[in-house]
């Protein structure tokens, strides 16, 4: 575990972080794929979804049901991921991330509201299941997820480094 040296500047730490990040092909490849996936999600689901709901599914009530189902998926996926301790976490993360397209696939196939809602729930659950993988050792983990900057308590302080055990405890408070 490395703690920033006293007197180091933000620019020095950014340079060091960039060296760590760019030196790990697996990490920047995942980040690039996530960026493209998020872009597709924003375009395909968040922007076009309400339009499809308004023109083909009966309006706001249908979209509300779809988004609510996604929220239930987020909740169930989060509860599952909180307890999950996969033996090969990055394999799990990359295997379930494809399920994030569930809602978009339902929209593209022209499914009824309930079908799109099921896809959206699967999409929501896959978000947290894919994030269950980030119990990586620091400093690698620190550049993979923003909660790495939290201390071992839930104060959100960055005064102490996170250990793999405290990462698994997920004690950060982002409020």
Spatial contact of 103 and 123, defined as CB atoms under 8 Å apart: yes
Q: How far apart are CA 143 and CA 16, in angstroms?
A: 11
Q: What is the pLDDT of residue 65?
A: 96
Q: How far apart are CA 39 and CA 138, in angstroms?
A: 28
Q: What is the pLDDT of residue 94?
A: 78
Nearest alpha carbon to residue 2 among 24, 19, 26, 25: 19
Q: What is the pLDDT along the chain (175 residues), one digit of tens a residue?
A: 455 566 678 898 899 888 888 888 888 888 888 888 888 888 888 889 999 999 999 999 999 999 999 999 999 988 888 777 777 777 777 788 788 888 999 999 999 999 999 999 999 898 877 776 555 444 544 544 444 444 443 333 344 444 444 444 444 443 3
Distance of alpha carbon 162 from the chain centroid? 19
Q: What is the pTM of this model?
A: 0.63
Radius of gyration from C-alpha coordinates of the chain? 19
Q: What is the pLDDT of residue 166?
A: 42
Give the pair of three-digit tokens for residue 138. Answer: 């620091």
């Amino acid at each position: 575990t490395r703690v920033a040296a006293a007197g180091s500047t933000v620019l020095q730490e950014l340079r060091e972080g960039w060296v760590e990040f760019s030196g790990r092909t697996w990490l920047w490849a995942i980040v690039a794929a996530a960026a493209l996936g998020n872009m597709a999600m924003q375009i395909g689901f968040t922007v076009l979804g309400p339009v499809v709901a308004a023109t083909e599914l009966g309006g706001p009530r249908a979209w509300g049901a779809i988004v609510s189902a996604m929220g239930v998926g987020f909740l169930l996926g989060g509860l599952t991921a909180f307890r999950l301790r996969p033996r090969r976490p990055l394999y799990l993360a990359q295997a379930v991330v494809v399920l994030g397209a569930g809602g978009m696939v339902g929209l593209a196939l022209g499914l009824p509201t309930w079908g799109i809602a099921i896809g959206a729930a699967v999409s929501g659950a896959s978000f947290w299941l894919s994030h269950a993988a980030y119990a990586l050792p620091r400093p690698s983990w620190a550049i993979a997820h923003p909660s790495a900057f939290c201390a071992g308590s839930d104060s959100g302080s960055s005064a102490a480094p996170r250990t793999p055990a405290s990462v698994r405890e997920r004690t950060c408070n982002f409020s």
